[in-house]
Structure formats: C-alpha cells, structure tokens
Amino acid sequence: MTERGRILVEACVDSLASAAAAVAGGAARLELCSGLVEGGLTPSAGIVALVRERIDADLHVLIRPRGGDFLYDADEVLVMLADLDLAMRLGADGVVIGALTAGGAVDEAVAARLIESARPMAVTFHRAFDLTRDPAQALDALLRLGIERVLTSGQAESAEAGISVLASLVRQGADQMTVLAGGGVHEANAARIVRETGVREIHLRGSRSFESPMTFRREGVAMGRAYRPDEFLRIETDQAQIRRVVDAVRLIE
C-alpha cells in the first residue's frame, strides 16, 4: 500500500507511454510485460531500462519466456533465470513468476530456483495460479516457498466472478501472503471486489485502443493473425481509466 489504509493499484503495462500514463493516473506499482495479447511475456531489456530510468514507481518485471502453458523444460528455466538476473541488474524492484507441474500443481522445485535467483527483489506468482487444480493447495505451496504475493482472479473468468475464492484465499493467506486481485478489474467493480474479498491490492490493464496513424496499409497481409487481428489498432494504458479506479477504491478502509 502506498499509504496507511490505502488500496494499492497495480497497472499492467507494455510500453514507456503506458507506464507513464499509469503512474500519472495514480498507479503505485507497474507490472511490465510484452506480448499482452498472449497473456504477457518477458519485456525487452531496453524497455525495462527506460522505464526504470524515467518512471518513478515500484517496477515489477514479468518473467515468462513464451505463451501457452506454464509447464517449463530445463532450457526454459535457464532462460527465466537469465531474464531474472537481467531484470535485477536493470534495477527492477520485483519480478513476477510462475511454473506448474503437468498435474496442475505449483512446480515448487522450479519456483524455488527462480525465487532464490530473484532475491532480494520482491516476488509475485502470476496467474498461472488460476490454472492450478486446487487453489487452497496451491496457496499452501506458495506459503511454503515464501512468495509474498499472488496475482489471481480467484480461478474465474474475472476477479468479480471469483470473489468467493478470492475472499477464501485472503483468509488463508492472512498476514503471510498478499492476494493481488486481477482479471477484468475496472471502475465499476473495483470497489465491490475490494469490499467483498478483503484484498488490499488490485491489478488492471486499464487500456484504450486507437487507430494507427499509418496512411499506407497493405491489404491481405497479417502478422500473427491468431493473436492480433488488426496490425493497425494500437492499445495503450489510459490514464483516465486508471485514475477512476484509484478514486473508486481510495476511501475504502
């Protein structure tokens, strides 16, 4: 929390402009990613360095080497360890990690290696948590690992739909684990999610889309149509949306 009693708002961003807009809107923490159309991937060293240099906010870097599932082989773990080291050297305050077993449990062996490499940075377990077989067992695993935060929708389509599970996780984690509610959080539901779950931190994208300023457009050629159907539609964080969410939760005790 930024101040005693205040709800912390974390914004998920993928560009320098989005990072600046989120902080201007009142976000106290940034989760910096790339590839948000795939659910988020590790950002480049360049964007991490520039956000760290220019933006005054708590900066957490997503460590996810590819899209798809969260079952990683030995080489992918080495990639994540290298990215963790780079994030630390570039001045990140924290990292966001996740790894699962084939059976849908937290991969405690892989997570332990990542956590050890990440310290003294803060560590959040990302929404891979929402694909685990049993949320209570998964949270117990994170508590054993000493992770301080888990980002989750309560294993539902959105945090609003997952309110009952989120509330249970908050009770289970007590003062040992911060539950960061994310997934479909916006100005109309943020206060309800906070009040009914007891979370003290929320996570959102808060984006807007706008047309590319390009005047020449080649028809019939697409770059990765499965993920992004329109190369001429840009998505960035909207300062006004972030501010409305911050205002919606700022008076909740």
Per-residue model confidence as pLDDT tens digits over 63-110: 999 999 999 999 999 999 999 999 999 999 999 999 999 999 999 999
Q: Which residues are CB-neighbours of 252 under 8 A, at least 6 positions away? A: 7, 191, 194, 195
DSSP notation for 214-239: -S---TT--SSTTT-S-TTEEEEE-H
pLDDT at 2: 40
Name the percent of the chain lying above pLDDT 70: 94
- Alpha-carbon gap, residue 200 to 181, rounded angstroms: 9
- pLDDT of 3 > 70? The answer is no
The model carries a pTM of 0.92
Helix axes 16-24, 45-54, angle to 10 degrees: 30
Q: Is 8-215+222-249 assigned to CATH 3.20.20.380?
A: yes
Name the nearest CA neighbour of 14 among 39, 115, 27, 79.
39
Tokens of 57: 């906010």
User: Domain residue spans in the chain?
Assistant: 8-215+222-249
> What confidence tier does 210 reach under pLDDT thresholds 50, 70, 90?
confident
Average pLDDT, the chain: 93
Half-sphere exposure of 193 (CA within 13 A, CB side): 33
Distances (CA, A) of 69 to 133, 181, 217: 14, 21, 34
Q: Which residues are CB-neighbours of 110 under 8 A, at least 6 positions away? A: 72, 77, 99
Evaluate whether 176 touches 182 at the Cβ level (below 8 Å).
Answer: no
Alpha-carbon torsion 63, 66, 132, 207, what sign? positive
- Amino acid letter, residue 33: C
pLDDT at 38: 86
Tokens of 40: 């988020």
Long-range pairs of 119-122 with CB within 8 A, sequence gap ≥ 24: 121/87, 121/88, 121/92, 121/93, 121/94, 121/95, 122/60, 122/93, 122/94, 122/95, 122/148, 122/149
Per-residue model confidence as pLDDT tens digits over 40-54: 999 999 999 999 999
Strand-pairing partners, residue 237, are 207
